[in-house]
Chain A
Amino acid sequence: MSKPNNANPRTWRACMVCAAVQSEQQFRNRGCPNCDDFLELRGSVDAIQDCTSTVFEGVITLTDPMGSWVAKWQRLQGYVPGMYATKVVGILPNEYISACENAGVKYIPRDGSSIEDEQ
């Protein structure tokens, strides 16, 4: 995600786990910058279809993930700088959720449901 993103915004997809936004091509070539260790999106069109969504809102460009309150609020702290979405709509299949859990990553749905549950 350190390269400029010149892809057509229509092809953008957002990772359902970390909300990183990339074009589908980038997901295929490089995988998810944060979650690829357990989601293994690189080169897998199916996994990209399952774990990323074209329906997302509120694009964030994050330059300083550690110093940013936005990152803290969005639970993006510790992620790589790059483009993220505020809200990602989609349902992550169960096998990927368990993959997250096994990797020690708590899966937080990014479609707004977690916030409503909390309150």
Chain B
Amino acid sequence: MASFMNQEFPDEEEEDDFNPAQQDDSDNENDDAPDADDDDDNVPSKNARRGRDDRAGDERSSSKRAQDEDEGDDDDDEEEELEEEEEEEEEEEEEDDDDDDIEGQPSRKRRKKQRRNQFIDVEAEVDEEDEEEPEEDDDLPGEEMHPDDLQELPIGADRDDRKHRELDRQREAQLQVDAEEEAARLKERYGRQARASGATGAIVPQRLLLPGAEDPRIWRMKCRPGKEREIINALRNRTIQYAGSRDPVEIISAFERGGTNSPMAGNIYVEARQVADVEKALNGINHVFMGTRPFMVPMEEMPDLLKVRKTKHLEEGMYVRVRRGHYQGDLGCVDEVEANGTDIVVRLVPRLDYGLNEDSNAPTMDEILPNGQKRKRIKPITARPPPRLFNENDAKKKHAKYLQKGALTNNIWTYQGKEYVDGFLMEAFKISGLQIDDVNPTLEEVSRFQSGEDGAGNMDLQSLAATLKGSRGGDFLPGDKVELFRGEQRGVTGRSVQVYGDVVKIKVDNNHGALSGQTIEAPIKDLRKLFREGDHVKVIGGSKYTDEVGMVVKIKDDRVTILTDSNQQEITVFSRDLREAEDSGGATSDSKYALFDLVQLDASTVGCVIKVDRESLRVLDQTSNIRSLLPTNISNLIERRKNAVATDRDGNEMKVDDMIKEYSGEQKSGRVLHLHRNFVFAHDRESTENAGVWVSRNTNVITVAAKGGRANSTGVDLTKMNPAMKRTGAGAAGMAPPQQKGRDRLIGKTVKIRQGPNKGFIGIVKDATADIAKVELHAKNKIITVQKDMLSMIDANTGKVIEGGIQNLSLGRGGAPGKTPGYGGGSQTPARGFGSMPSGGRTPAYAMGGGRTPAWKQDAGGRTPGYASGGQTAYGGGGLGGSTSYGGGTSYGGATSYGGGSVWGGAGGQSTWNPNTAGGRTPAYASANSGSKTPAYGGLEAPTPGFNSAPTPGAYQDYQTPGDFRDAPTPGVRNSYQTPGGFPETPGPYSAETPGDFGPRYD
């Protein structure tokens, strides 16, 4: 019906507009219409009414069009008025416009103008029109019956129709009377409240109340911040005081918008007709800064002065922060909201020290000074105790008197007048004492509330979200895709171009008709970011998922569910916290700890980080337990010790990065991450459990492969490292060959291969180690590796084999070989002198090379040199203590040869000579003639013990054990054992031992 009328109406309206005279015609048409119903007469009236309504509506949307219509209407009005009130002239109508209340029934033209100026009255006067116009319309068809009706209907029917109309009129009149009665009744009933209800009734939209030119203006004055209410109150009192006096305060109103954190603090606003009133009213009121002139607030800014932002509705479980007092800044969880919405019971984590830091000597009462005033107690400034759940046992220690048990069943305590439930403090706050916006709780704080009775499991993210919802941030950035979800332009999408304050400029997308491509401005609160399923987005703030990147999978209102890239988890965040992400990649954590770090959990526990979350860590501790920790639970990071060494089950060494395998159990394998005390943390690339990390005791793993191929399979022979074992073993195995130092002297020598596949080849030694040599063959241009004992040295010129050349080369040490007794001076040494002997031709070094000690040689073949030397030189010696004693000299010669290996050098050669050339003179004589002097003599000869001992046979006795020798280096001690008889029994051991020890000592 309505749409039908709407469709029909414009025709009529156009007729009205363009040919006002036709109104009669249209009425005539109605009259002429055959079979007109009773309702017919109402149709035009309703149409007309609706038409006006529409016009009123149109006026709002398109003022230009309304203007046209009004012009048309004016014409129309004039026509009508000519008809109805012909005596009334236009001038009078204009007068009517001016004084509206004088005329009982304002002219229609005036009403039109009212309609243009004041929207409210249109609505209010529609009823009047309703009442009026039907009459008007009724009259026309009633009086002038439609010809068709007259023609076709029987007389009775015609009369019936009239009766119908009459009935309608009666009903309408009745209705009108009823309404009037009702109004009167109501007025009578509530009339006394007319004043009170003045501002009520129909609520006029506030946008229609915007200030106009006729409204008073508002001036702003600066004042002392925090004193705004005081000023307003003073102003009010002054107004009352001067009311009715000759000089009243003529301001209309005054107000302040101070308060904590209000940007309008420090201002008061006065509404008045002129600035002089403002100045007069404020003059002399405290805290008002009269130095500056009142500033007149621009009219368009006046509504902003009174803008009220809705306080967020608090619900249970939301998080707030305490603004003041002991718990200032602490996070609280709303436990209960009183019905009035202003009193909030908040659950807090108590900060108590249970009187443990109390000064027991502090005066309990305020001291009264002589002048009667109380001395103010200065409260010692103590650090706020850390937040910790209430513990009645702690409270009982010192403050048992303040502690009361609450209900029997629950864990409720009253301590110092405050209630503690399940360890939490329950405290009532006014809503003004709480910070509700921008709470931004951290996960750590929130988890404290969860850790109470039910563990960390059920974090109430819903309430967290509710808390976070109101917090603002730099939500929109240029380039964001946005959608208007409220207001007239709801549904419009576009990209933000510019953001300033609370306004975003948007370039509208192309599919929005007239708006396409335009740049419009929209308030932030009407906007939300637009995403589509599949978008790749990044969480930019407002939640614990900050920096998470993922794909949008679901959108519901402003909640967007995304599947994170990092761990394929579905998380739901608010669309304003999202941005389109250009980059992939997960959260860039700024945690102090990285994956696989070794961390100290407590004094005796360490763990390896196996997962780093935004605000928490997962740690595998040394007992294979997984712990979820906050970074603050970790005492410190243990630096990775790259060169840490441990021994595995087999005693093999195990270092970081070695591959190891568990010996028992699951036989897990992996690469060593950390070695800590008895524990090894290893990482298995193939395993996903605990990020592949496992932990075991050192003794439960075996090294499979060492990093860099250290020869580990056989293991290191620890016996070599053990000095005790080495000593005993040395006696049996013989002395180790002296350490080679420097360049192998075999290098560059010409050798012949004696054995093996290359037997007979001649070549030059290019390189050599202790027992192998690289030989460049003469015959082939080839370098082969040969065992040294498969070589024999030959004279490069003659090709003759040099007997023992290699051995000599590898063992002879020291300076010029010629000076060493063993080699260069071989012919001169005693040994050389005994060249006829089977082994005598060889130097004592040879004996050593053969694994025998010089001493041994002396034992076995030592007699021969002894004899030989006895025959030649040892007269002195022989004369003294028998030839054997001189034999000692020979053996000494042997000693020199080895000694020469390390120490002696040229001096050794000399000393070797001594026994030969002057042996008869010196040692023998010395010891014989003045036994006590021998050492001194020896001392003269050389400071080396070897030398010392050499000329004095008697001294040999001291040499029986190296230990003795070391312990008794003084010649005097040696002298005390001069009996040569002891000598033959012992030289072996001592001479075997001493050289090695000697040499280094005198280096």
**Bound complex: CA A6 to CA B205 (Å):** 36
Interface positions of B from 192 to 214, Cβ below 8 Å from A: 192-203, 205-207, 209, 211
Q: List 15 A-B contacts (CB under 8 A).
A: A4-B240, A5-B233, A58-B256, A59-B228, A59-B229, A59-B233, A61-B254, A62-B252, A69-B216, A73-B302, A73-B306, A86-B257, A87-B308, A106-B201, A118-B207
A104-B211 in contact given A4-B237, A5-B237 (Cβ < 8 Å)? no
Contact assessment for A104 and B186 in the assembled complex, using a CB-CB cutoff below 8 Å: yes
Which of B199, B311, B432, B486 is the one whose CB lies under 8 Å from A112?
Answer: B311
**Bound complex: CA A49 to CA B913 (Å):** 125
Contact assessment for A70 and B271 in the assembled complex, using a CB-CB cutoff below 8 Å: yes
Contact assessment for A63 and B249 in the assembled complex, using a CB-CB cutoff below 8 Å: yes
Question: B residues touching A (Cβ–Cβ < 8 Å)?
Answer: 186, 190, 192-203, 205-207, 209, 211, 215-216, 218, 228-230, 232-233, 235-237, 239-241, 249, 251-259, 262, 271, 302-303, 306-311, 339-342, 430-432, 486-487
Contacts of B207 in A (CB 8 A): 118
Within the complex, the shortest CB–CB distance from A55 to chain B, in Å, comes to 4
**Bound complex: CA A75 to CA B254 (Å):** 15
A9-B196 in contact given A57-B259, A63-B239 (Cβ < 8 Å)? no
Which of A59, A69, A103 is the one whose CB lies under 8 Å from B190?
Answer: A103
Which of B186, B190, B203, B258 is the one whose CB lies under 8 Å from A106?
Answer: B203
Q: How many chain A residues have a CB neighbour from B under 8 Å?
A: 57
Contact assessment for A63 and B252 in the assembled complex, using a CB-CB cutoff below 8 Å: yes
Which of A50, A86, A118 is the one whose CB lies under 8 Å from B205?
Answer: A118
Within the complex, the shortest CB–CB distance from A81 to chain B, in Å, comes to 8
Interface positions of A from 89 to 105, Cβ below 8 Å from B: 89-91, 93, 103-105
Contact assessment for B255 and A78 in the assembled complex, using a CB-CB cutoff below 8 Å: no
Which of B196, B211, B487 is the one whose CB lies under 8 Å from A78?
Answer: B196
**Bound complex: CA A71 to CA B229 (Å):** 18
Which of A61, A77, A106 is the one whose CB lies under 8 Å from B236?
Answer: A61
Within the complex, the shortest CB–CB distance from A97 to chain B, in Å, comes to 13
Contact assessment for B196 and A70 in the assembled complex, using a CB-CB cutoff below 8 Å: no
**Bound complex: CA A3 to CA B233 (Å):** 12
Most buried by B among A50, A59, A74, A103: A59
Which of B209, B235, B308 is the one whose CB lies under 8 Å from A61?
Answer: B235
Contact assessment for A116 and B310 in the assembled complex, using a CB-CB cutoff below 8 Å: yes
Contact assessment for B193 and A37 in the assembled complex, using a CB-CB cutoff below 8 Å: yes
Within the complex, the shortest CB–CB distance from B245 to chain A, in Å, comes to 14
Contact assessment for B211 and A69 in the assembled complex, using a CB-CB cutoff below 8 Å: yes
Contacts of A71 in B (CB 8 A): 199, 253
**Bound complex: CA A86 to CA B259 (Å):** 12
Q: Is A26 an interface residue (CB 8 A)?
A: no
- Additional 9 contacts, C-beta under 8 A, given A69-B211, A104-B186: A3-B240, A37-B196, A70-B252, A70-B255, A82-B236, A83-B233, A90-B341, A113-B310, A118-B207
Q: Is A108 an interface residue (CB 8 A)?
A: yes
Contacts of A54 in B (CB 8 A): 342, 430
Q: Mark each residue of chain A from 40 to 68: 1 if its CB lies under 8 Å from any CB of chain B, else 0.
A: 00000000011001110111111110011
Contact assessment for B432 and A55 in the assembled complex, using a CB-CB cutoff below 8 Å: yes
Contacts of B342 in A (CB 8 A): 53-55, 89-90
Q: Which residue of A lies closest to B211 (CB)?
A: A69
Contacts of A62 in B (CB 8 A): 252-253
**Bound complex: CA A53 to CA B310 (Å):** 15
Contact assessment for A59 and B256 in the assembled complex, using a CB-CB cutoff below 8 Å: yes
A73-B209 in contact given A3-B240, A78-B196, A112-B310 (Cβ < 8 Å)? yes
Contact assessment for B196 and A79 in the assembled complex, using a CB-CB cutoff below 8 Å: yes
**Bound complex: CA A70 to CA B486 (Å):** 28
Which of B197, B237, B255, B303 is the one whose CB lies under 8 Å from A60?
Answer: B255
A2-B308 in contact given A35-B196, A58-B256, A58-B257 (Cβ < 8 Å)? no
**Bound complex: CA A111 to CA B310 (Å):** 6
Contact assessment for B487 and A67 in the assembled complex, using a CB-CB cutoff below 8 Å: no
Within the complex, the shortest CB–CB distance from B757 to chain A, in Å, comes to 102
**Bound complex: CA A92 to CA B457 (Å):** 38
Question: A residues touching B (Cβ–Cβ < 8 Å)?
Answer: 2-6, 9, 34-35, 37, 49-50, 53-55, 57-64, 67-80, 82-83, 86-87, 89-91, 93, 103-106, 108, 110-113, 115-116, 118-119
The B interface, classified by DSSP as helix, strand, loop or mixed, is mixed
Contact assessment for A91 and B341 in the assembled complex, using a CB-CB cutoff below 8 Å: yes
Contacts of B200 in A (CB 8 A): 75, 78, 104-106
Contact assessment for B341 and A115 in the assembled complex, using a CB-CB cutoff below 8 Å: no
Within the complex, the shortest CB–CB distance from A22 to chain B, in Å, comes to 12
Contacts of B216 in A (CB 8 A): 67-69
Contacts of A34 in B (CB 8 A): 196
**Bound complex: CA A42 to CA B205 (Å):** 32
Q: Which residue of B lies closest to A105 (CB)?
A: B200
Contact assessment for A57 and B257 in the assembled complex, using a CB-CB cutoff below 8 Å: yes
Q: Which residue of B lies closest to A78 (CB)?
A: B198
Within the complex, the shortest CB–CB distance from B186 to chain A, in Å, comes to 7
**Bound complex: CA A72 to CA B205 (Å):** 11
Contacts of B309 in A (CB 8 A): 112
Within the complex, the shortest CB–CB distance from A60 to chain B, in Å, comes to 4
Contact assessment for B199 and A79 in the assembled complex, using a CB-CB cutoff below 8 Å: yes
**Bound complex: CA A54 to CA B344 (Å):** 13
Contact assessment for B196 and A89 in the assembled complex, using a CB-CB cutoff below 8 Å: no
**Bound complex: CA A106 to CA B237 (Å):** 31
Within the complex, the shortest CB–CB distance from B252 to chain A, in Å, comes to 4
Contacts of A104 in B (CB 8 A): 186, 190, 193, 197, 200-201
Within the complex, the shortest CB–CB distance from B515 to chain A, in Å, comes to 20
Most buried by A among B186, B218, B228, B257: B257
Contact assessment for B229 and A69 in the assembled complex, using a CB-CB cutoff below 8 Å: no
Most buried by A among B199, B237, B309: B199
Contacts of A90 in B (CB 8 A): 340-342
Q: Which residue of B lies closest to A16 (CB)?
A: B340
Within the complex, the shortest CB–CB distance from A38 to chain B, in Å, comes to 8
Q: Which residue of B lies closest to A72 (CB)?
A: B209
Contacts of A83 in B (CB 8 A): 232-233, 236
**Bound complex: CA A104 to CA B216 (Å):** 30
Which of B186, B211, B255, B271 is the one whose CB lies under 8 Å from A59?
Answer: B255
A68-B196 in contact given A58-B257, A111-B311, A115-B206 (Cβ < 8 Å)? no
Within the complex, the shortest CB–CB distance from A58 to chain B, in Å, comes to 5
Most buried by B among A55, A77, A116: A55
**Bound complex: CA A83 to CA B234 (Å):** 11
Question: When A and B form their complex, which 5 residue pairs have the shortest distance between CB atoms, in order from nearest?
Answer: A78-B198, A112-B310, A112-B308, A60-B255, A69-B215
Contacts of A112 in B (CB 8 A): 308-311
**Bound complex: CA A46 to CA B236 (Å):** 28
Which of B202, B262, B303, B487 is the one whose CB lies under 8 Å from A73?
Answer: B303
Q: Which residue of A lies closest to B215 (CB)?
A: A69
Q: Which residue of B lies closest to A57 (CB)?
A: B259
**Bound complex: CA A39 to CA B202 (Å):** 20
Which of B197, B259, B306, B430 is the one whose CB lies under 8 Å from A105?
Answer: B197
**Bound complex: CA A112 to CA B308 (Å):** 5
Which of A9, A57, A59, A93 is the one whose CB lies under 8 Å from B339?
Answer: A93
Contacts of B255 in A (CB 8 A): 58-61, 70, 86
Q: Which residue of A lies closest to B256 (CB)?
A: A59
Contact assessment for A91 and B253 in the assembled complex, using a CB-CB cutoff below 8 Å: no
Contact assessment for B197 and A9 in the assembled complex, using a CB-CB cutoff below 8 Å: no
Contacts of B197 in A (CB 8 A): 78, 103-105
**Bound complex: CA A50 to CA B975 (Å):** 119
Q: Which residue of B lies closest to A85 (CB)?
A: B255
**Bound complex: CA A72 to CA B302 (Å):** 12
Within the complex, the shortest CB–CB distance from A69 to chain B, in Å, comes to 4
